Amino acid sequence: MRTLKLRREAERRLRTGHLWIYANEIEGKLGTLGLTPGELVDIEIPGKSLGVAYVNPNSLIAARLLQAPTAQFDVDTWLAQRLHAAVATRRMLGLARQCRLVFGESDGLPGLVVDRYGAVLSVQITTAGMERLRPSLARALGSIDGIETIVWRGDSSSRTLEGLPSTVEIEGVLPEQIIIDEGNARFAIAPAIGQKTGWFYDQRDNRARVLPHLSGLRVLDLFSYGGGWGIGAACAGARDVWCVDSSNAAIESVNANARYSGVSANVRAIEADAFDACREFKAGGERFGAIVVDPPAFIKRKKDAEEGALAYRRINEAALRLLEPGGWLISCSCSHHFDEISLLDALRRAAQSAGRSLRVLMRLAQSSDHPEHPAMPETRYLKGFACSVW
């Protein structure tokens, strides 16, 4: 294993437990060191080893630490230990068979996300370093109790930055129907073609907290995907639910999930842009007792911040105009570059423009199987507020 020398300044951040090494923290010119993407290296600052990392000389995040200094680094042992800890943590949460089993850096497995749907795993590898470990990873994942199929979702956009191809591969047989449940609701998952890994477990805990309060209400689920919020609400007793998503596949899955959950009579799904749908509901004089606003990340890169902030403000303003007095606004953002304070600020401005008054009843965050790494704010991305609106 070769040694990669860092500038002394890098030590402070890495000592807190952060796992990333940026290109400008490396001694010498990274491009001239002859390193290949994914290669394992020993990381050293003057006079001291910091442990083993994998590198990508073509990325701004030039290396990610895998393990503190030890006498020997064995990939299989390392993977087995980290996976064992990740699985045990989910078991602690009572979430063994339906959950996010691995959440990247937070589980000490940089560049890896694994969601579990019963006997099926949906795996996202986002770095060249993790891709290189795939044979070992396949063995380690395959040995988890009860796993029969692995779907390799190698089609996330971040792979391009790492120079990785876009592919989806299936190992084993993909069952025709994969059903998970959340409370009384049942959802069919398509791990090979659904968005991201197939399901948004990150909202599960929020749904469990908020949905019981929506019984009897008329609910609008904007950016519904498969209806996690909307169908959950119908199962919790909401009297009339509208799901809106711009994706045809999402709308078809809402309809199917409504059937599986036995709430077809109460759920309507419309394929539309959420902004347009709000305009039409307003024009038609429609009102709702609760509205969920859970859009895709409007701010993917820092430079989108201003435009994205405006989009959060606009969609929330449109939702607020449709709420009955005393209604619930459940508003979320999964943009890492848009923090809780910024979202609250967007909500405050939206309420002001809409002439409404809003109070935060609950703060929402990513589910417990998406743990936060205390040294890496990058691992905290989902935030939201459940508000009462007058």
Catalytically active residues are 334
3-state SS, residue 3: strand
Reported in sequence order, the residue ranges of the chain that DSSP labels E, i.e. its strands, are: 2-5, 20-22, 40-45, 48-55, 61-67, 98-103, 112-117, 120-125, 149-154, 167-171, 179-182, 185-188, 218-222, 240-245, 267-271, 288-293, 323-333, 358-365, 383-389
- CA–CA separation, 146 and 141 (whole Å): 10
Q: Is 288 among the residues that bind ligand SAH (CB under 6 A)?
A: no
From 212, 242, 239, select the one nearest 227 (Cα to Cα): 242
> Is 108 or 230 the residue whose CB approaches ligand SAH more closely?
230
Shortest distance, position 129 Cβ to ligand SAH, whole Å? 28
Helix or strand or coil: residue 14? Answer: helix
> SS3 of 2, please?
strand
Q: Which is nearer to ligand SAH, 52 or 233 (CB)?
A: 233
- Residue 284 corresponds to which tokens in the numbers above? 């038609």
Edge-to-edge strands, sheet with 2-5? 2-5, 40-45, 48-55, 61-67, 20-22
Provide the minimum distance between the beta carbon of 300 and ligand SAH in the complex, in angstroms, as a whole number. Answer: 12
Cβ closest to ligand SAH, residue 169 vs residue 307: 307
Residue 200 as a binder of ligand SAH (CB under 6 A): the answer is: yes
Under rule CB under 6 A, residue 328 binds ligand SAH? no
User: By CB under 6 A, is residue 203 in contact with ligand SAH?
Assistant: yes
Which of 162/245 has CB closer to ligand SAH? 245
Q: Does 187 bind ligand SAH (CB under 6 A)?
A: no
Q: Which of 182, 245, 317, 369 binds ligand SAH (CB under 6 A)?
A: 245
Residue 294 in contact with ligand SAH, rule: CB under 6 A: yes
Stretch that binds ligand SAH, among 70-78, 89-97, 145-153, 225-233 (CB under 6 A): 225-233
How many chain residues are in contact with ligand SAH, going by CB under 6 A? Answer: 18
Asked whether 64 and 52 are in contact (CB, 8 A), the reply is no
Q: Which stretch binds ligand SAH (CB under 6 A): 72-80, 99-107, 129-137, 224-232?
A: 224-232
Alpha-carbon dihedral angle through residues 295, 107, 191, 293, given to the nearest 10 degrees: -10
Annotate each residue in 249-278 with x if it binds ligand SAH (CB under 6 A) or - if it does not, as one string: -x----------------------xx----
Q: Does 156 bind ligand SAH (CB under 6 A)?
A: no
3-state secondary structure of 39: coil
Only segment of 33-41, 62-70, 77-85, 219-227 that touches ligand SAH (CB under 6 A):
219-227
Question: Is residue 247 close enough to count as binding ligand SAH by CB under 6 A?
Answer: yes
Q: In the set 58, 156, 184, 195, which binds ligand SAH (CB under 6 A)?
A: 195
- Verify binding: residue 229, ligand SAH, rule CB under 6 A: yes
Q: Does 307 bind ligand SAH (CB under 6 A)?
A: no
CA-derived radius of gyration, the chain? 22
Q: Is 122 in the site for ligand SAH (CB under 6 A)?
A: no
For the chain, the residue count is 390
What kind and span of H or E run contains 158?
helix 158-161
Could you say whether residue 223 binds ligand SAH (CB under 6 A)?
Answer: yes
Identify which of residues 217 and 315 has a Cβ nearer to ligand SAH in the complex. 315
Q: Is 81 in the site for ligand SAH (CB under 6 A)?
A: no
Sheet holding 112-117, edge to edge: 98-103, 112-117, 120-125, 149-154, 167-171
Q: Using CB under 6 A as the criterion, which residues of the chain lie in contact with ligand SAH when the complex forms?
A: 195, 200, 203, 223-225, 228-229, 244-247, 250, 273-274, 294-296
